[in-house]
A and B are shown apart, each in its own frame.
Chain A
Amino acid sequence: MTRVDLSTVRILIADDNSHMRRIVRTLLNSYGARDITEAEDGAEALELFKASGPDIVITDWIMPIFDGLELTRMIRSEDASGNPYVPIIMLTGHSEKKRVVEARDAGVTEFLCKPISAKGLYMRVLNCIVNPRPFVKSKTFFGPDRRRFTNPHYAGEERRTEPAPQQAENG
């Protein structure tokens, strides 16, 4: 397995459930992460995002004030001060495919369904670091390339007029 040192990586957790925040923090600490901040809702998460400039954001979907999807859109928007390219991991009890597509279309980098596992979260964090996706910017979308896999042997012309959804990654 690829080795990474997470000791200086700044991670923001946004989840309204205190038990889940404690579990995520414990897992991240075990991976070696030390610089972790927590937010109880979308508004607090956006404040902390602007103030602390995290390297990775882990957010729940359903939260008070505004949810994880809205938080993602705000982070990716041109108006948000901060790093719009920050990797965002959506950690949620939603497991339906339509939700995965919705999250991806909002600009989420990785999708992870609860129940959480030590391996599942670690692999998402690792993926953000080792396999960062290029970003696509069009009139209607800004976020990580929704085509996770590029066929290196494809020699035809570019058919994409808009970065349309093609494949959903399941968490």
Chain B
Amino acid sequence: MTQEIEDKGTHQIIKPPNDLRQKTKPSRSSPPNFDPIAKAEQALHQMSGNFTLWIEEEVAALVKAWSVAREAGLSTDSMDDLFRAAIDIKGQAETFGYPIAGSIADSLCRLVEHGQEGNQLPEPLLDQHVQAVRAVVRERAKGDDSQIALSLLHNLTDVTNDYIAQSA
């Protein structure tokens, strides 16, 4: 198989050979009723026993990054580390069963990104986000039935939105 190239003057359109299609052709011995998504969901469920430990490890990384940032000052490097820890929680908390913690981490990410654009960041608000994520996981506030966790999330999001709007 060779690639096809179409010259359009300002650019070329290239169709690379699709070896992957050939490589993934099901063989006759492949089970006909195999459902890869159902199998993957089942595998995810089987590993969910680890999720509480894993979210606790992520929270510990966030708390550590924040502690270092407070001691060293809110520098570019320390805020980058805090952002990394926060976006990991934002991306994984729902998978681990803690969607509210993920949403609080999302608010923290937006706040830190706002600071990365040269705006002054309020240390107490950063601290409140970190402590809120920590509390939600510590109290096992997993679903939407935790009114305190939800109210914490809404308040932090509102204050963050106001802050970003006012200082932009």
Contacts and interface: CB of A to CB of B under 8 A. Distances in A.
Interface string B34-46: 1011011111100
B13 A26 contact: no
Contact of B24 (A9, A23, A115, A138): A9
Nearest to A83: B16
B147 interface: no
Chain B: interface size category: 35 or more
Interface in A117-163: 118-119, 121-122, 128-130, 132, 134-138, 141, 145, 158, 160-163
Contact of B95 (A16, A29, A115): A115
A165 to B, nearest CB: 14
Interface string A85-106: 1010000111000000000000
B34 A3 contact: yes
- The prevalent SS among residues of A at the interface is loop
B91 interface: yes
A118 B38 CA distance: 8
Interface in B1-27: 8, 10-16, 18-21, 23-27
B30 A138 contact: no
A163 B6 CA distance: 14
Interface string A1-37: 0011110110000001101101100110111100000
A158 B8 contact: yes
B84 A128 contact: no
B37 A119 contact: yes
B146 to A, nearest CB: 19
Which 10 A-B residue pairs are closest in the complex by CB-CB distance? A114-B91, A93-B91, A118-B40, A138-B11, A30-B40, A4-B24, A115-B94, A85-B16, A31-B36, A93-B87
26 contacts: A5-B26, A5-B27, A8-B24, A9-B23, A9-B24, A16-B84, A29-B43, A30-B39, A32-B34, A32-B36, A55-B20, A62-B87, A87-B20, A115-B91, A115-B93, A115-B94, A115-B95, A119-B37, A122-B37, A132-B20, A132-B21, A135-B15, A136-B11, A137-B11, A141-B11, A160-B10
